[in-house]
Structure 1
Amino acid sequence: MKKEKSTLFIKNGVNYFGPFVAITTLFFLWGIAHGMLDTLDKNFQMMLHLEKWQSSFIQFSLYGAYFGMAIPAGLFMRKHGYKKGIIFGLILFASGALLAAGTAPLQSFILFLICLLIIGAGLATLETAANPYTTKLGPPETAERRINFSQSFNGLAWVIGPLIALYIYGNQSHVEGKKMISIVLPFAIIGLVVLAVAFVFTRLKLPEITEEDENIAHGAIVPAAEPGDLITDVTDPRYISKKPLWKNRHFKLGFVAQACYVAAQTGVFSFLINFVTDHDMDPHFDVELAPYFLSFGFLLFMIGRISGSAMMKYFKPTRMLALYSLLVCLLLPVVGLEFGWTSIIALYAVFFLMSIMFPTIFALAIKSLGKHTKEGASFLVMAVAGGAVFPPLMGAVADVYGMSVGFLVPIPLFAFILYYAVEGFKIKPDTDIAVVNKSNLKTENQVTG
């Protein structure tokens, strides 16, 4: 029987490019939300006279929702499928945005944080669906490339988001008590657009992934000759992990690595504006220009994802992840030591190097999970809650020791990602499966002999 040739979007003769494009639009949508919200920290600091650690509760609310919603979202999709999960996430996203628009005239920071919780719940549901789904829309051996490609459009949205915020807020940052009213129109528009996208998805025909497809897409491992041997080739569908989810070492470590990454990323993204506008720094810039600096960082982030996706055709994703995380560990001290423009350039290099980390860790962690893929994906999205805890810590350090010193705090987190890229991602087969295979082989030899 002739084997079907597989490409990036074609598996067993089926072309998944159309569904892939539809799912990729979701990455763009939540990227816009994150890109806009990252500009609000500094605005609320000035408007409500908040300390850095207090304004970081914007991230705490948004990412905290991931912790509470990711598991219910995974259970929902396990019962109802990816398509209904996507529609549910879009409705939550739209509801939070419209509620934020409706309550903004009340000038309540607490109410805005509640709206962000609802938006975050919607984003958590979308990520729980979209991230693993992209890895299935083609051959398993190119899963990392597909998710990095989709995440590139997420990066593009992060570039556009701050520019939208700049257009909305203009140079009104000195006008206290006016800013929250200005979020009515953008959040109303976002809510209506997301509702329209939800309607479109109700009309789309998306291939639903069956349990058998889950096994083939993410369980492709051949047992090692001896129990305990490590396996890094995950392209053969003959082996599926039969262990409970949390017995898979590469998944457990991937969960920790993902939590570390999102925590570090959120801190770096959130405090870039504070870094370039810090009056104790030389050079420092006016706050009205800050969204341009943030958008440039996100532009490098997007370029990193596009180039990273292309480079993974020639280099192993794990080696790229290891190199990038090592370089970040070396560059953050340069940021922290206040070398002027050199520190700013180093910080922008960190933006570029962080680009491939989330999708690559995600794809590596859900390899070989088989029927546990949806559940595993929901836990990995829950790990995004690391972004809720870390910015207040980084902000507290910055309030005491200065913003530049705050950028030393994420170094241990990137060090763990380096460990995962070098050792932690490796998959061990089930001991009992290896023994069973040996037994079956022995029996077969006796029969044929």
Structure 2
Amino acid sequence: MSDVASNKSDQDGASGGFVYPGLLLPFALIVACFAAWGISTDLTAPMVNVFSSVFDMSAFQAALVQFSYFGAYFLLAIPAAIINSKFGFKGGVVIGMSLAAAGAFLFFPAAELMTFGTFLLALFVLAGGLSIVETSANPFVMSLGPEHNATRRLNFAQAFNPIGSNIGVLMATLLVAPHISEAVTKQGMSEEELLAQTSSELEKVMVPYIILGILYLSLAIAIAVVKIPKNQRMEETDFSGVEPGVFGRLIRNKTYSFGVVAQFFNIAAQTCIWTFLPFYVQYTLGASKSEAGWWLQLSLISFLLMRFVMVWLMGKFDGRLLLTIMCGAGVVFSLVGVLLGNVVGALCIAALSGCISLLFPTIYGVALTGVGKDTKFASSGLVMAIVGGAIAPLVHGRLQDATNPQFAFVFVLVCFLIVGAFGVYSMRHGVDLQAQEKESTDA
């Protein structure tokens, strides 16, 4: 009798807990991956400004950095889903981290060759690996505990991503930006002096990526050796096969389809904010590249703080409501930034990072709710939407070249409007996960 009661208690604990018993270490290692790929994403964003100076390019040309980086996410998402189907989520994370490490190490030969194209290739391989990691890690985290709090668990894991983001920007600000000369400074240099200066600058660009490669390889090894205990409830959500008609079912699922569109514009807004905020403060406030880097750091601190605030608020309010409210705030802040080219406008543009803090994991969790055995391919579709980060900087960069860095943030305003529309739609047609979690807790 006592054994029956004990088993029932264990089952209740497993169904009502945040993470299934015995899975805390794997959960912690996967959360570390969220922070690790945040370093790369936000180390790369300031590189648009850096490469525009090193290779003397327009904003549109320099935006090819983000096109190469986020384009890899689009191209590798479906292969990532196939890898997950064959090797599982854990295998996907290990393979992805290993490929990302290889891409990071490619920065060494790229710095020696001193051509923009080789850096784009290194970024593509790095981002391709991280595409596999994200396609695997997001649903992996959701499968490590009960479905009713899967979105909140993903928000918790994603809250560590901006820690990595801040580290990435700090690395760019301290290790790279101070060593990059303005284009005006190079105008009086001879060909030999210019070659030596370019070589020196590209070596500074290489250093943080070599550090990243070591980190990614270490994580790949750690995750490969850790044992994941069998858990029946986890296995119910970790499907190894793909049933026929998966793409048709996903397209007909309106919440999922709209979620993919919303994720595209969410990543579009995020990438443009972090890529073009330095240009904005240089244009409106006359800031130097180094000072602009600190503005980006401030913006990412707001992103970090709001992530944890939102995880707490999601325990009290529907995540879809919070998403809609934050998108509304994003529209207002974008408009103020476009109209006021001063410190107030710059603060509003910097605050946009706080507005996007909960968007990715909330869109991801809401869109995947109820897709069942199609989870792995559904996950790849949401990761493919990250291609918004490849296309949007080209649009924003072209708009900036045609007008100015201040007016170009109209594009970000439009992105917030579209994501906000998804929030409204999902509240009207989706499942109230917050209510589900309360019912489970009460039970």
The answer to whether the Cα contact below 8 Å between 2:282 and 2:292 also exists between their aligned partners in 1 is yes
Q: 2:322 aligns with which of 301, 320, 323?
A: 320
Taking the aligned partners of 2:340 and 2:258, their CA distance within structure 1 comes to 33
Shift of 1:152: 1.3
Structure 1 pair 216/88, CA: closer, same or farther in 2 (3 Å)?
closer
How big is each residue's C-alpha offset from its partner over 1:33-54, in whole Å with a ceiling of 9 and x where there is no partner?
1121111111111111110111
The TM-score normalised by the length of structure 2 is 0.86
- Residues in 2 aligned to 1:208 and 1:409: alpha-carbon distance in whole angstroms: 47
Instruction: Name the counterpart of 1:163.
Output: 170
Match of 1:352 in 2: 354
Aligned partner of 1:186 in structure 2 is 208
1:254-282 C-alpha deviation (Å, 9 max, x unpaired): 0111011101111111001111111xx2x
CA change 1:426–1:250 in 2 (3 A) is farther
Q: Distance in 2 between matches of 1:92 and 1:25?
A: 17
Alpha-carbon distance in 2 for matches of 1:411, 1:15: 44
> Is structure 2 residue 267 aligned with structure 1 residue 245?
no
Going from structure 1 to structure 2, the CA distance change for 1:335 and 1:202 (only over 3 Å counts) comes to: same
Supply the distance in 2 between the matched residues of 1:311 and 1:211 (Cα, whole angstroms): 27
Distance between the aligned counterparts of 1:18 and 1:285, measured in 2? Answer: 44
| Alpha-carbon distance in structure 2 between the residues aligned to 1:371 and 1:298 | 36
- The answer to whether the Cα contact below 8 Å between 1:82 and 1:208 also exists between their aligned partners in 2 is no
1:274 partnered with 2:276: no
CA 1:287/1:39 → structure 2, altered by over 3 Å: closer, same or farther?
Answer: same
Letter matched to residue 245 of structure 1: L
CA shift for structure 1 position 427: 5.1
Question: Which of 39, 43, 46 is the aligned partner of 2:50?
Answer: 43
Deviation of 1:162 after TM superposition, in Å, equals 1.4
Q: Which has the higher helix share?
A: 2
Equivalent residues of 1:70, 1:382 under 8 A apart: yes
- 2:439 maps to none
Matches within 5 A, 1:25-424: 25-169=32-176, 171-174=178-181, 176-177=197-198, 178-206=200-228, 213-215=235-237, 244-278=249-283, 281=284, 283-424=285-426
Deviates more, 1:250-259 or 1:138-147: 138-147
The alignment partner of 1:81 has SS state of helix
**How far is the alpha carbon of 1:120 from its aligned partner?**
0.9
1:66 CA drift (Å): 0.7
Secondary structure, aligned partner of 1:402: coil
Write the letter of the residue equivalent to 2:124.
Answer: L
Q: Which amino acid aligns with 1:253?
A: F
State the Cα deviation string for residues 325-370 of structure 1 (Å, max 9, x = none).
1111122111111241111121122111110000100000000011
Quick check: 2:144–2:234 contact (8 Å CA) kept in 1? Answer: no
Q: Which moved more, 1:146-155 or 1:191-200?
A: 191-200
Distance 1:313 1:212 in 2: 22
Provide closer, same or farther for how the CA distance between residues 89 and 261 of structure 1 changes in structure 2, counting only shifts above 3 A: same
Determine the C-alpha separation between the residues in 2 that align with 1:428 and 1:344.
36
**Aligned amino acid, residue 216 of structure 2:** V
Contact 1:107 1:181 in 2 (8 A): no
Cα deviation, residue 83, structure 1? 1.1
Deviations 1:271-326 (A, max 9, x none): 01111111xx2x23111222211111111101111110011000110100010011
Taking a change above 3 Å as real, the CA distance of residues 38 and 324 of structure 1, as seen in their structure-2 partners, is same
Aligned twin of 1:9: 18
Shift of 1:385: 0.6
Question: Structure 1 180/307 Cα, relative in aligned 2: closer, same or farther at 3 Å?
Answer: same
Q: Is the 8 A contact 2:268 2:391 kept in 1?
A: yes
Question: How much does 1:210 deviate?
Answer: 7.8
> 1:40 corresponds to which letter in structure 2?
M
8 A Cα contact 1:328 1:350, kept in partner: yes
Gaps of 5+ in 1: 218-240, 430-449
TM-score, structure 1 normalization: 0.84
Supply the AA of the counterpart residue of 2:84. M
Structure 1 residues 207 and 415, CA, compared in 2 at 3 Å: closer, same or farther? farther
Q: Distance in 1 between matches of 2:222 and 2:262?
A: 35
Alpha carbons of structure 1 residues 330 and 209: separation in structure 2 relative to 1, 3 Å: farther
State the secondary structure of the residue aligned to 2:12.
Answer: coil
Quick one: structure 1 residues 17 and 211, their matched pair in 2 at CA, closer, same or farther if it must change by over 3 Å? closer
- CA contact 1:325–1:417 (8 Å) conserved in 2: yes
Q: 1:192 to 1:414 in 2, by over 3 A?
A: same
Q: Which moved more, 1:418-427 or 1:141-150?
A: 418-427
SS of match in other structure, 2:145: coil
With over 3 angstroms needed to count, the CA separation of the structure-2 counterparts of 1:115 and 1:242, relative to structure 1, is closer
Distance 1:367 1:426, change over 3 A: farther
Q: Displacement of 1:30 after TM fit?
A: 0.5
Instruction: Return the alpha-carbon distance in structure 2 between the equivalents of residues 404 and 209 of structure 1.
Output: 52
